[in-house]
Amino acid sequence: MNNLLKFCIFAVGIVLPLFSFAQSDTTIERNLDEVLVKSKRNKFSTNSTQIITNEQLKLISVENIAEAVKLLNGVNVKDYGGIGGLKTLSVRSLGANHTAVILDGIAVSDCQSGPIDIGRFSINNVENIQLSIGHNDALLQSAKNFASGSVLNINSSKPVFYDKNNKSEIILKTGSFGYFNSEINTSQKLSNNLIIKSECEYLRADGNYPFLLKNGRNISTEKRNNSDIQSIRGQFDLFLLDTNKNELNVKIYGYYSDRHLPGAVILYNPIAREQLWDKNFFVQSNFKHKINNSLSYRIIGKYNYSWNKYEDHNVKYENGLKQDLNKQNEFYISSSILASLNNNFLFSLALDGFYNTLNSNMLNNPQPDRISLLSAFNSKYISNKFSATFTIVGTYITENVEFGTKPDLIKRLSPSFSLKFKPFDNKDFIIRTLIKETFRVPTFNELYYTTIGSTYLKPERAKEFNFGLSYQTKISNKFLLELSTDYYHNNVIDKIVAIPTTYVWKMHNCGKVKIDGLEINFASNYQFFNNLDLEFNVGYNYQEAKDITDKTTVYYKHQIAYTPKHSGNISAILKTKYVNLGYSAIASGIRYISKENMPENEVDKYIDQSVSISKKIEFQKLYFIIKFDILNFTNKQYEIIQYYPMPGRQFRISININF
């Protein structure tokens, strides 16, 4: 594809939404679809969806998306420790590549390495985080939303103005191990329906936290070294809101980070010299328009550029240096349309097109590019008691390489079906079920990375089944209770794994995993007095994720690596007249570092608890929020990934100044 064509796609993607906005008419109608999502207050949506609300984000000790996502049930965050450590999420043991991460309606992707590092995203301007099993309930979405095993939506907050036309916020945070984070953002209401917002954020941390190293008779306190990070983020947003009829958000985003990587703790050898730089720039545009009561559409356009450089210094490399350079481009457009036949029938169709390129200095990298076309057709029936949705996603993917073999074309259809039933008119009791078949495509690294990559790879398939109940009741005016439970059964087939043959590791489609799990969520809200309010959430997850690849191996039917059978979380917020208190806990049972479930491979169970206290102070036209956190206050020494110790007790203090 030549540059001109690329530019055209890009230009159309960005400009078309703007153009469409100008064309819109003025009828004021509700979007049928949006109502379904927004009516749900928190974790208990009709679909198997969990939400972390803005209030939780503000009052509990979480500072980035990864810390917040750990409070979602059924999610396993692979965390290499520290602020700069890689953090990816896997939902219900499907593997990190089966979760789509969607930022303000538009997918974030990394065709080279696959999973998104969610530790990178700031929480400062996030309205809520929503995890949906299968896909997000809303129908007017990009096809990408329907094409994964689960979807993590990160939704930014839109500025709200009360009595003035501009507002600003300064956020300052500091804490243990050289942590410092500052942000300034300012929003301007240019007219009744035009708002602009700009944000600028800086973050640094030394990350040189102590940890306990046990080695037989030697027990010593060591420090993580070479683990500092610095990053800068700048963002500009434009919102056009035409009285609920049209919605446009244009976002320009730039990010730069420079971090050192401490690597695994290696006995007797503390030397670590790895360093990683990241640059990311994107511009995205998301436009929604309601033509009339029964017809609306959405157009999305995005251009994404990401660059990273990795360096390691060691005399074992030629000239003592290993340097990897990678550049990726993505051009993405999506259009979708939602139509309602009558009050009961809804249809939607979404078409997405991606063009991805990778430029790499790695040996034998064929500089691949990939064209992906996705389409998703949804039909939904809604009545008072029932809701049934049938979705089918069609995928067509083709790749080009400068030399060597290229992988086969991918042409697939993946269906899914979900059903909700509300048997009693006067009770908030819901029975829900979901069946879904999806797959994920091999990443560029899996296909082309030096000798490990294999262009024979096929997509890795996942089958999901979910059956759940949820019940919500108001015991009194002051006491709200919610309970939900889901049983799930997943299969991962043709799992992409690295297998060694004659001392050379290569990627193959030869893993099979069977997952059975049970998820229980409990939430309550109790108002003791007018100014004393307790919100309490507990989640527990049991899962057996068994390797069923090969009957002859010793690890047949063993729990797959780094997957706890038992995990859970608690979050509680106590709001009083004077201060707000937050408590959160993340707990996990033992895990195994490798395929064989033997004692030598065990990683200890842990519970990581944090508390926070915050207060809002108003002072004339200013208001401040001051917050103090103690993270991991019991100073629990634990690891999520073996030999990547997690930080112990940490203190943080933050102040938000709003004016």
Partner 1 sequence: MKKNFLLFAIALLATTCVFNSCKEDEENFNDEGSKVSLPDERIFILNEGSYDGNNSCIDFYAPNNDLNSENKSFISNFNFTQNDIKLGDTGQDIIVYENNIFVSVFGSSLLVKYNSALVEQGRVQFSEQDGQPRYLTAKDNKIYVTLYSGKIAKIDAKTLIIEDYITVGKNPEEITQDANNLYVVNSGWGADSTISVVSIKDFSTIKTINVENNPFSVKYSNGKLFVLSYGKFYDYPLQMVDIYNNTVETIGNGVKIAENDGILYVVQSITDWATNKVENNFYSYNVQNNQKIEQSFIDISDCEEIASNSIYMFEINPKNGDFYISTSDFVTNGIVYRFNKNGKLITKFTSGGINPSHAVFIY
List contacts with partner 1 (CB under 8 A).
Answer: 215-218, 263-269, 271, 314-316, 318, 451, 456, 499-504, 506, 508, 510, 553-555, 593-596, 600, 642-643
Residue with smaller CB distance to partner 1, 80 or 583: 80
To partner 1, the closest distance from the beta carbon of 310 in angstroms equals 17
Residue with smaller CB distance to partner 1, 320 or 423: 320
Neighbours of 32 (CB within 10 A): 19
Residue with smaller CB distance to partner 1, 160 or 363: 363
To partner 1, the closest distance from the beta carbon of 504 in angstroms equals 6
To partner 1, the closest distance from the beta carbon of 549 in angstroms equals 11
To partner 1, the closest distance from the beta carbon of 41 in angstroms equals 44
Residue with smaller CB distance to partner 1, 392 or 593: 593
Kindly state the tokens that stand for 464.
Answer: 């999901």
Instruction: Give the chain's largest Cα–Cα span.
Output: 77
To partner 1, the closest distance from the beta carbon of 546 in angstroms equals 16
Residue with smaller CB distance to partner 1, 307 or 456: 456
Distance CA 457, CA 512 (A): 15
DSSP strand E in 56-134: where?
75-79, 87-91, 99-103, 106-108, 126-133
Closest CA to 464 of 490, 486, 433: 490
Kindly state the tokens that stand for 71.
Answer: 């409070």
Residue with smaller CB distance to partner 1, 160 or 554: 554
Distance CA 124, CA 126 (A): 6
Kindly state the tokens that stand for 156.
Answer: 């930014």
First to last CA, the chain: 49
| Type of residue at 162 | Y
Handedness of CA 186, 34, 463, 485 (dihedral sign): positive
To partner 1, the closest distance from the beta carbon of 320 in angstroms equals 9
Kindly state the tokens that stand for 491.
Answer: 């299969």
To partner 1, the closest distance from the beta carbon of 563 in angstroms equals 16
To partner 1, the closest distance from the beta carbon of 506 in angstroms equals 7
Within its chain, how far is the Cα of 279 from the centroid? 19
Tell me the CB-side half-sphere exposure of residue 350, using CA atoms within 13 A. 26
Whole-number Cα distances in Å, 249 to 20, 122, 157, 270, 465: 13, 19, 12, 48, 35
Residue pair 489/467 in contact by the 8 Å Cβ criterion: no
Distance CA 635, CA 626 (A): 24
Kindly state the tokens that stand for 424.
Answer: 């009693």
Residue with smaller CB distance to partner 1, 198 or 549: 549
Residue with smaller CB distance to partner 1, 163 or 600: 600
Instruction: Read off the DSSP letter of residue 319.
Output: G
Residue with smaller CB distance to partner 1, 35 or 499: 499
To partner 1, the closest distance from the beta carbon of 509 in angstroms equals 10
Neighbours of 166 (CB within 10 A): 14
| Type of residue at 71 | L
To partner 1, the closest distance from the beta carbon of 316 in angstroms equals 4
406 forms beta bridges with: none
Residue with smaller CB distance to partner 1, 2 or 218: 218
